[in-house]
């Protein structure tokens, strides 16, 4: 997935988080945080956190492009939602990411994708902080 070139769909069942200032055709819903860890650490922690979530499977892990993709299925009907994450180094000690979460079926999602993205970011920040490093959110 090319975050700079893709377009959001016309449906509200999606959520896009991108680094502030990232050149994209789509308008992000929110700016992504900057984490006080190297990009390799952010990639590792994000994968660990994502795979600890219920009904989540990794479907793609492209370490060369620094992208991974997960599917989380809904509890009752097992509908798949897909999250694509790309990691970016800000410098040697800081990193950030772009996240696109979307539902495969339906029109609306009652805010599920937004809540998922925000929850995973918070869990990654908490994991980094508890590991002795600090994660900071840059002001928007």
What global pTM score does this model have? 0.90
pLDDT (tens digit, 9 = 90+) per residue, 24-75? 999 999 999 999 999 999 999 999 999 999 999 999 999 888 999 999 998 8
**How many Cα atoms are found within 13 Å in the side-chain-facing hemisphere of 104?**
13
Specify whether the CB–CB gap between 3 and 22 falls below 8 A: yes
Q: Which domains are delineated in the chain?
A: 14-131 (3.30.530.20)
Q: What is the pLDDT of residue 135?
A: 42
Rg (CA), the chain: 14
List strand residue ranges (DSSP E) for 43-117, in order.
Answer: 56-62, 67-73, 80-91, 94-103
Task: State residue 75's pLDDT score.
Answer: 86
Helix (H) or strand (E) holding 122: helix 112-130
Mention every residue, 6+ apart, whose C-beta is less than 8 A from residue 122: none
């Amino acid at each position: 997935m090319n975050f700079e070139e893709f377009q959001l769909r016309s449906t509200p069942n999606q959520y896009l988080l991108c680094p502030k200032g990232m050149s994209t055709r789509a308008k992000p819903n929110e700016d992504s945080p900057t984490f006080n860890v190297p990009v390799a650490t952010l990639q590792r922690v994000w994968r660990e956190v994502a795979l600890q979530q219920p009904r989540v499977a990794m479907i793609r892990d492209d370490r060369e492009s620094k992208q991974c993709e997960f599917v989380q299925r809904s509890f009752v009907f097992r509908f798949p939602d897909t999250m694509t994450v790309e990691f970016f180094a800000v410098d040697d000690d800081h990193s950030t990411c772009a996240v696109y979460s979307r539902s495969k079926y339906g029109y609306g999602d009652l805010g599920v994708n937004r809540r998922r993205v925000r929850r995973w970011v918070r869990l990654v920040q908490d994991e980094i902080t508890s590991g002795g490093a600090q994660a900071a959110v840059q002001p928007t």
